[in-house]
Homo-oligomer: A and B are copies of this chain.
Amino acid sequence: MSTRAEQLCAEIADAILSGDLTPGSRLDEQGLADRYQVSRTPVREALRLLAATGLIEVRPRRGATVAQVSSDQLVELFVAMGEIEATCARLSAISMSPIERRQLESLHERMAKIVDSGDEGSYAEANVVFHTRIYKGAHNSVLEEVANGLRRRLSPFRRAQFRAKGRLPLSHMEHTAVVDAILRGDADQAHQAMLRHVNLVEDTFEQMSAGVAAKRDLVA
């Protein structure tokens, strides 16, 4: 087992990613220390670790808050994510081993069945694996880390992404374009297909959040 600070980092991250701690909420050091039965010291370290990943923001002398990204920043995050993913896809088309290609294809076929079953939860889960495989396939741990970091930062904002009507079959079709290009080693096509895919994810999100915003306006 590692250090207490790292454990706290993971626990707090979970609390944020699960929606238990909502964006903008204040993270009181003493409060967290009490809650987790430790002193402030490891809590502080955990907060710095989280700040490094972008999940929270710490302003000197002003404490830490769960990062609340503006609409503009969210767009930037999605654009960056798309570019990084597209890069990974391009490199995967060049660098993936035959075994990795085979595994990607097999996963894609399994996901086809999940689409038919309509199980959104399973698809979301498999989707993470799908993208992770492509990060790994690029054979570059630096890019892989950046990609995983961005995905983590964005995950609070697309939890219900696949609830959008008919999104599952669409997502799978887009994946097909990506997988085909990677399997036949067409780097440029892989890049384009992945960029298109992530952009469409972004669009879906924007439509949904627009709906949520509308509801919020009605309630408020």
Contact = CB atoms under 8 A, between A and B. Distances in A.
A55 to B, nearest CB: 12
A88 to B, nearest CB: 9
A146 B80 contact: yes
Contacts of A84: 87
A117 interface: no
Given A6-B60, A45-B44, A61-B3, A83 B76 contact: no
B150 A80 contact: no
B83 A143 contact: yes
Interface residues of A, number: 26
Given A2-B60, A79-B140, A80-B143, 14 more contacts: A3-B60, A3-B61, A6-B60, A41-B41, A45-B45, A48-B49, A73-B141, A76-B141, A77-B142, A79-B142, A80-B142, A83-B87, A83-B143, A87-B87
A52 interface: yes
Considering residues A2, A83, A143, A150, which has the most beta carbons from chain B within 10 angstroms of its beta carbon? A83
Contact of A142 (B41, B44, B61, B150): B150
